[in-house]
Structure 1
Amino acid sequence: MRIVLVLEYDGSRYCGWQSQPEGCSIQDALETALSKIAKEAIRVITAGRTDAGVHALYQVVHFDTLAQRPISAWIRGVNALLPGDIAILWATEVSDEFHSRYSAVERRYIYLLLNQPVRPGVHGKKVGWYHQPLALEKMQAAGNILIGEHDFSSFRSAECQARSPIRTITQLNISRQGNLLIFDLRANAFLQHMVRNIIGCLVYIGKGKYSAEWMCELLVSCNRIYAAPTFSPAGLYLAGVKYDCGWCMPELGEVPIIPGLSIRN
């Protein structure tokens, strides 16, 4: 049978999603717990791999198993075996046609950026930080340029293994809550480091180093060397994976990230 899971995690102390020989990844922790419940080796397939230090509010995985277990075992049973910073939120049995990656039609990422003169302490691994004032209007104007289908070669990692750099961004909204800037991006898919590279470029524009039109130049250049450095992973959250309604996947509700801040659909 095929089981699909929705989970959340704090990626601060992990080497990313993908399994590593050292066993330091979120995938390693999840597969270890699932294998104990199933009493057989379990390998999971994810909707999207997150980098070291990146968090998830809504990550989707599926796996195949011969084990007959109640759904509660795949939630409460697995949670009892997982580290405290990883949790299964939802599970169900699905048909073999479902694929966590290839059935997905949209991904959503949230980036939280603290914009104040001094660095954070308590929430240092939950938010990005920039010390100089940032102009929200200029950043939003630049972000609007990226909406639509484009070649995002200027924003992909040199190690990115995607066959094509063409992606379609359907939403890039920037809002402010006090000293916190909230970047909300949706696309059919994202390239490796794409969101963090976009954030770095928007920060350059927000602090006045470039005009909003610089974003057009980056798109046309299709060359990573002209863009800003990759921004910190600390403030990045995988916040949603969308599927056709026929799969009956749950939606992300209101989720508190840090005191006083909730992320909504």
Structure 2
Amino acid sequence: MDFQIQYITPDIKLSTYDDKLFKTEAVFEYHMLVWLISGETKIIQADKTYLFKAGDIFLIPRNHLATIINYPKDGVPHKAVVMHLTTERLKQFYASIESGHKTICLESKIHSFQSHPLLKSCLASLVPYFEMKGPFPENIASLKITEAISILREIDKDIDAVLTDFEEPGKIDLVGFMEKNYMFNMSLERFGYLTGRSLSTFNRDFRKVFQATPQRWLTQKRLELAYYHLKEKRKRPSDVFLEVGFEDLSHFSYTFKKQYGLVPSALI
């Protein structure tokens, strides 16, 4: 396993991955602007799956669940430049301009910019700095992030509504949220945070509405989804276990057989 992250500032990094794949379930604290230099990235949200290829640029919104799978491609490592757009920096940016924007509620989604020349030029200009010795000047980093935000606003007229959403999750309907997001292998603490609850309140409310422990319910729902993908969509177990929230293929196979009495491959 060869996974490397280089930071030139806490908010700008270059990630490189040489192994077969790298998978994570994440709720990012900050918006993430990504330029995929090589390889492929699959992002799975509750209601949509995205596949990005070399050259693509995309924005992952903060505080939304996603499964992210990074693949090397054709013997070339997965490599990406990532820029964090922090809440503090965005507040400073919008306080310094008369934007006239209106905060509206937009559907949460990954914003794709393909290989937009302005964004690509901005992000590509960061690559030489990863080879520098010594600290990266903060004033230059700040200018680069401000440049990226300005370009996003120029090419996507709806982006203000995304970037100016500074709210933290409030208490929401637990049943609706969990039925939509159970396939994400997040900690119970994170599920609690995203539904506006402490861990103890989350566990109490969960048992009350589902009449089961969170772990038991989550396992059951993930196995049901896996069964559907295997039986109806003819997917391979090696693809399914990642998409439904399991971390290990052998553990998935063991749990699946314990539930259904047969190994996952028997359904293909």
Tell me the TM-score normalised to structure 2 length: 0.25
Structure (1 or 2) with the greater helix fraction: 2
Q: Which has the higher strand share?
A: 1
Larger Rg: 2
Instruction: Say which structure, 1 or 2, has more relative contact order (CA 8 Å, 6+ apart).
Output: 1
